[in-house]
Structure 1
């Protein structure tokens, strides 16, 4: 059950207590930062954009002093989902299950399924039978703890939630659980099943890729992260439009309204920040000034 709870946590990345927003945060000398200030376009107060990582060694989470100042200065914190929703865990189970009567067994040949069973039994010490309805993409997420060199892991969103609560900042979500379920349902289960088996067969290669991605995140090299996400063997190039581009455009539409009303701290997966269809580029195209902040 610990691994199941971990997977749920992995994918779940106006207050009267708002501080004075007339602050000036130091600009980063390069674009190597996960923290960005959004201003201009008649915004009365700046908002902030931050790239998260869904699972990482807890000691590696990059919360610098300026990030903490930014969180203190805003009215609300927006994440992909409302992480403070008491029904989040129940909704997560619905998000993780495949539609209809599709089962894992139906997605694999007899030989492939036996290989999957053996891996879960030997490497994860869990029976595959208990995950028959789970989308393969979430089963793939169970491999991530085996790729990290630490025992104490956490989601950046989870730690940011604690920081927001310390500062009495309300949490909001840019998407609903039902919408996120539809996103993963739009990727064919057969394709997800193929990727899960590929990850198990090439676990050491995936581990090296994951290590490089974590290193790029820790050093806040967004261009390197963009390059890795475009990797034809390990990245999400085939599903980028579904997982990133369309969602980014929808979020910018929402943020146009939200940021006019109040100052907010926006925390979404770092992959959503980069590229021509990333949030930094899209917000600039909307006429905002988006500048890198030292973190």
Structure 2
């Protein structure tokens, strides 16, 4: 993952210059010069921002690579007299040839009566809910198109990403920025050889179904995607352009994250993923991780009131960093054993 910081100072300055110019009664030619100057300033600001992001990422990467895990994906345990909760981090898409199973994970899955995922994304009901949500919250319904929200510099960044993916602009024009960002990222990951059918949840789900286990979920599709869909449009645009700017890096960053996950290096995952600087902004960080972690803690606490054994499998980023589910549980006074 890459840093997706905003550059509001430069954009605000461009807007201010344009407004002042119009207020002073410039000719169309003058207005054109101001627009060109504003675009040039925005491009310069974005180039400087990307350099700063690259330096921040390289520093985090160096520290992450210097740390080590236990050599297998991390697994935590939370229990009381009659309840055992195993908690593990997952990666939703993996290369098919990656070997990630461990004796500890196999034992947790074998002992679990119920498997708990983030959300139901495989049932027919879930498919219907997803279609309904995307139709109303992921697509424009007022006649606008995606590029109507973008500056010329942002359009250029988006077009570079689309060219890299071999995707026509028309394919994403009806999408709101957050949904376009998700589609670009997933398409890039899949083109690089990562397969959702090889993802941890898919593998665990197939085995759990075969063994007749029960399933439970920490959130609905509306809750999972609603935070992204509910971001202000400017934040959505920043999310989209940050995603577009990272496309040409290929799968290198994800390969590093998967390596850290497979090694059980929770500190490394926290550095590279579970902090606002790497995700891009406080707003996106909150929508993707922090607010969801806070919601999940109460639901995990409630599971301790029900006897039995559960395996909770959620994205690895939710279990690393200062705002992780694990840290929040510990702050509530629970003893969580693990790395």
**Global fold match (TM > 0.5):** yes
Post-superposition CA distance 1:228-267 (Å, at most 9, x none): 1256664255232332222112111112222321321111
Unpaired runs of 5+ in structure 1? Answer: 1-28
Residue 213 of structure 2: SS of its match in structure 1? coil
1:49 Cα deviation after fit: 0.3
Rounded Cα–Cα distance in structure 1 between residues aligned with 2:266 and 2:286: 19
Is 131-140 or 276-285 further displaced after alignment? Answer: 131-140
Partners of 1:157 and 1:210 in 2: how far apart? 17
| Change over 3 Å in CA distance of 1:270–1:61 after alignment to 2 | farther
Partner of 1:171: 215
1:85–1:259: structure 2 CA closer, same or farther, 3 Å change rule?
farther
Q: Name the CA distance, whole Å, in 1 between partners of 2:171 and 2:181.
A: 16
Partner of 1:242: 287
Q: Post-superposition shift, 1:79?
A: 0.6
Q: How many residues align?
A: 261
Please list, as runs of the form range in 1=range in 2, the aligned pairs for 1:179-198 lying within 5 A after superposition. Answer: 179-198=223-242
Q: CA deviation at 1:33?
A: 4.0
Higher alpha-carbon deviation: 43-52 or 181-190: 181-190
Q: Deviations over 1:149-180 (max 9, x none)?
A: 66796322222211211221122211011112
Quote how far apart the aligned CAs of 1:98 are.
4.0
> Are residues 1:73 and 2:111 paired?
yes
Between 217-226 and 235-244, report the one with greater CA deviation. Answer: 235-244
Equivalences for 1:82-231 in 2 at 5 Å?
82-96=120-134, 97-98=138-139, 100-101=141-142, 103-109=145-151, 112-113=154-155, 116-117=158-159, 119-120=161-162, 122-131=163-172, 132-134=174-176, 135-141=179-185, 142-146=187-191, 148=192, 154-205=198-249, 207-229=251-273
Q: Distance in 2 between matches of 1:186 and 1:217?
A: 30
**Larger fraction in helix:** 2
Q: What TM-score do you get using the length of structure 1 for normalisation?
A: 0.75
Structure with greater Cα Rg:
2
Distance 1:92 1:254 in 2: 23
Which shifted more, 96-105 or 260-269? 96-105
Q: Which moved more, 1:161-170 or 1:279-288?
A: 279-288
CA 1:288/1:127 → structure 2, altered by over 3 Å: closer, same or farther? same
Range with bigger deviation, 74-83 or 86-95: 86-95
Q: Summarize the alignment of residues 23-42 of structure 1 with structure 2, pairs less than 5 Å apart.
A: 33-40=73-80
> Which runs of 5 or more residues in structure 2 are unaligned?
1-68
The alignment's C-alpha RMSD in Å is 3.0
> In the aligned structure 1, how far is the partner of 2:301 from the partner of 2:104?
24
State the Cα distance separating 1:137 from its structure 2 match: 2.6
2:303 matches 1:265 = no
Change (3 A) 1:126 1:206: closer
Relative to the length of structure 2, the TM-score reads 0.67
Shift of 1:181: 2.7
Shift in Å, 1:206: 6.3
Deviation at 1:280, TM superposition (A): 1.2
Moved more, 75-84 or 181-190: 181-190
2:333 aligns with 287
Deviations 1:80-137 (A, max 9, x none): 10244322223333444146435312222456446635643x4333333233225233
Q: Secondary structure at the match of 1:51?
A: strand
**In structure 2, distance between residues paired with 1:175 and 1:99:** 25
Does the CA contact (< 8 Å) of 1:30 and 1:292 recur in 2? Answer: no
Mapped partners of 1:230, 1:267: distance in 2: 17
On the 8 A contact 1:216/1:225 being kept in 2, the answer is yes
